[in-house]
Amino acid sequence: MGLSSDLLAEIYAAWGKYEQAEKLYREALSTQREVSDPQKSIPYAQTLNNFARFYHRKAEYASAEKLYPDALAIQRAVWGSEHAELDHPVVARTLNNLARMYRAQGMYSKAEELHMRVLKIREEAFGMYHLDVAESYYCLAKLYFAQQKYEQAQARCQQALIIQERQLGPEHPQIASTLVMMARIVAVLDDYIPAEGLYERALKIWESTLGPEHYKVALILSCLGELYIKMQRYAEAERSLKKSLEIREQLFGPNYQYLSYNYNNLSDISLFQHKYAEAEQYYLRALTVREPTAKAVHLQIVFSYRRLVELYMKAQRYQEAETVWKKLEQMLTPEYPDWVAFLENYTDLLRRIGREEQAIEQEKRIKRFTTSL
């Protein structure tokens, strides 16, 4: 019964039915405690791991972090470890999930340390060309991408792709995820045509293997829309983003948190075309679907607020811009990748509203921060 509840919880979580999923995870843990010693039960540890990932997806990081140590302790008790630096590959899966959670919170040093540890475990256990090793390279690529270390991200992504194509063939659906990651990296490096080709290859794979209305197809359409915005192909961008939005709404409902990506990108199209009222509505809609489910700061929330500030400044609505900046300042820490740019933009805003002394103080703050690096 416990395992069945766990599997059903995974399904509900994937469909965004979080209350039902959380209840089922708790039921699964309760049942497993009744039928076996939880300190020696691998199914119990796996349910803890899945439950932690559930909280991670909801951005409830504190709740997730409480569950991972118990899962790790049970796995190490059952599987053992040769020494402190080399856990069992099963333990590595949980460590990998913990690293991904740290990355989502912007705790990049902790994330990298764990991802490198997992990579070492997997290379020692399986050799250089195992799919688990490819997953580690892929996770490192995502980490370096988040840190704007694009050359390192591209190198790790390429390593993952080589292994996957060797093991699975060029048309396997798993490869499409890596192609999407590579396309995102290439696009940031302004290689738009190669990025478009990578997205189209991934789209073809997922449409043929998963169907045209699958949520992963919606993901690529969203990414293509973002790329078309950079290429100033706004009509194509709008079509891709609205098709992606339609699929996601049909699958998950109108308040699905990942709709924020679509709304933010649609906002950008309106903003770049100076349709400020329309852009504002899209940004606010993005915040409406993202903020209620976020128990911690999410980059999409930051993105929406920063774009709102840009919009308000273009429209000379400086008081509203300052209100949003103050809200952002409470959210962000110096670990935020664009921290200096954030402070510089705030300095510009202060000057526009005639607060020169405060602007000078902000410049001193920027200097103190940059010299401390």
Give how far the C-alpha of residue 328 lies from the chain's centroid of Cα atoms, to the nearest Å: 19
- Cα atoms found within 13 Å of the Cα of residue 81, Cβ hemisphere only: 18
pLDDT of residue 83: 47
Distance set, CA 277 to CA 228, 234, 280, 288, 344 (Å):
22, 18, 5, 17, 26
pLDDT, tens digit, 9 for 90 and up, residues 166-206: 999 999 999 999 999 999 999 999 999 999 999 999 999 99
263: amino acid identity, one letter: Y
Residue 238 sits at the vertex; the CA angle it makes with 224 and 261, to the nearest 5 degrees, is 60
The predicted structure's pLDDT at residue 294: 55
Share of the chain above pLDDT 70, in %: 94
Render pLDDT for 121-156 as a digit per residue (tens, 0 to 9): 999 999 999 999 999 999 999 999 999 999 999 999
Mean pLDDT within 192-221: 96
Model pLDDT for residues 321-335, shown as the tens digit of each residue: 888 888 887 877 777
Residue 164: predicted pLDDT: 97
Interatomic CA distance for residues 204 and 111, integer angstroms: 32
Q: Which residue would you say has higher pLDDT here, 132 or 72?
A: 132
Question: Where residue 165 falls among pLDDT bands split at 50, 70, 90?
Answer: very high
Cα dist. 153→127, 149, 323 in Å?
A: 22, 6, 36
Q: How confident is the model at residue 37 (pLDDT cuts 50, 70, 90)?
A: confident
Contact, 86 vs 120, CB < 8 A?
yes
Pairwise CA distance, residues 215 & 6, whole Å = 22
What pLDDT, on the 0 to 100 scale, is given for residue 293?
58
Q: Which residue has the higher pLDDT, 35 or 195?
A: 195
Assign 82 a pLDDT band (cuts: 50, 70, 90). very low
The answer to whether the predicted template modeling score (pTM) of the entire model surpasses 0.85 is no
Q: Which residues contact 107 (CB under 8 A, 6 or more apart)?
A: 335
Domains (range + CATH), the chain: 255-373 (1.25.40.10)
* 3-state secondary structure (DSSP) of residue 225: helix
